[in-house]
Amino acid sequence: MLLNVKNDIREIDRVFTCIKEFCSTNGISEKKCFDILMIIDELATNIISYAFDDGQEHTFTVMVEKEKDMVHVRLSDAGIPFDPLNRIEPDTDASLESRKVGGLGIFFAKQLSQFISYERVGNKNQLDILVSLKEEE
Amino acid sequence: MEITVKKDSGITVVCPNGRIDTSTAKNFEEGIMKLIPDNQQIIISFSDTSYISSAGLRVILVAGKKIASMNGQLALADMSDKIYEVFKMSGFDKILKIYPTFEDAKSSFGK
């Protein structure tokens, strides 16, 4: 499935609907679907918020494919070069007072995926993510 | 997403309904932050919440800090397994009070 998504936060709603449909068509459990939705939501939100700084409308793509016991997600945008995986991870042991608010989205995407990589391909940022469909106990 | 607010034994109960993501987090933040000056004993019940992203956690962290600074109490309850997993993954289970049920959260107040 290939979705063309505009850099508008209201698009997230449509992305949710399409991904849920993809999961149900492919017999993916609700729990795994939650993980896939979260990974795509966090990464797509990042693209919508930061990839384009000219105030114009842009479109990026979200591809989702089922491959045996994996789901392959690819996000591709022609925004400013940015490797989101290169960020400092949040300190999940910090106290309430000192806990910082940023960096969690990428951290979640990493935690929930089996594999995640960033590559600048031509003028595009490309993120490839593999999510295992095996249910952990 | 809609937020229902009710009072139970002097405690303010906030129920976010639906998805808390980037597109709804601002609404959630405004809803909860405007309650805090007058309500410092708050339970957030997630019984009708289907999803929470980092944007939603950010709001809860900001609210938690604000309530703590006013010597108030914040408790979270009624999370689905997946939502609890998100709180655990972020380490928020170590800095916020999370109870299995609303009744458990309620009985923790005043202690």
Tell me whether residue A75 is in a domain. yes
Other residues' Cβ atoms within 10 Å of the Cβ of residue A92: 17
Q: What is the mean pLDDT of residues A90-112?
A: 88
Domain range for residue A28? 2-132
As for how many domains chain B has, the answer is: 1
Min distance B44 CA to chain A CA atoms (Å): 17
B48 within domain boundaries: yes
Asked if residue B110 is part of any domain, the answer here is: no
Domain annotation covers residue A126? yes
Domain presence at residue A86: yes
What's the whole-model pTM score?
Answer: 0.93
Site from A40, A49, A98, A101 to mutate, B interface, most B CB atoms within 10 angstroms: A101
Asked if the model's pLDDT at residue B12 lies above 70, the reply is: yes
Cα–Cα distances (Å) from A4 to A14, A76, A92, A128, B23, in that order, read 11, 10, 34, 16, 18
Q: Is residue A122 scored above 60 in pLDDT?
A: yes
- Listed in sequence order, the residues at least 6 apart from B108 whose beta carbon sits closer than 8 Å to its beta carbon are B73, B75, B97, B99
Q: Does a structural domain hold residue A76? A: yes
The size of the A-B interface in CB pairs under 8 A is 71
**Mean pLDDT over each residue of chain A, to the nearest integer:** 93
C-alpha separations of B37 from B6, B67, B72, B96 in Å: 16, 9, 10, 19
Q: Which domain holds residue B60?
A: 2-103
pLDDT band at A135 (very low <50, low <70, confident <90, very high): confident
pLDDT band for A137, please (50, 70, 90 cuts).
low
Domain-embedded: residue A106: yes
B81 with A111: Cβ contact below 8 A: no
pLDDT in tens, B38-75: 998 999 999 999 999 999 999 999 999 999 999 999 99
Angle CA B35–B84–B18, to nearest 5: 55
State chain B's mean pLDDT as an integer. 94
Please, what is the angle between helix B22-33 and helix A11-25, to 10°? 120
Cα-based distances in Å from A112 to A33, B15, B48: 11, 27, 23
Is residue A136 within 8 Å of residue A112, measured between CB atoms? no
**What pLDDT digit, counting tens, does each position of A28-84 carry?**
999 999 999 999 999 999 999 999 999 999 999 999 999 989 999 999 999 999 999
In-domain check, residue A137: no
- The CATH number covering residue B57 comes to 3.30.750.24
Q: Would residue B17 count as lying in a domain?
A: yes
Q: What is the ipTM of this complex?
A: 0.90
Give the total number of structural domains in chain A: 1
Asked if the Cβ–Cβ distance from A93 to B96 is below 8 Å, we say no
Residue B108, domain member (yes or no): no
Q: Given an 8 Å threshold on Cβ–Cβ distance, is B94 in contact with A104?
A: no
Task: Specify the pLDDT at position B111.
Answer: 60
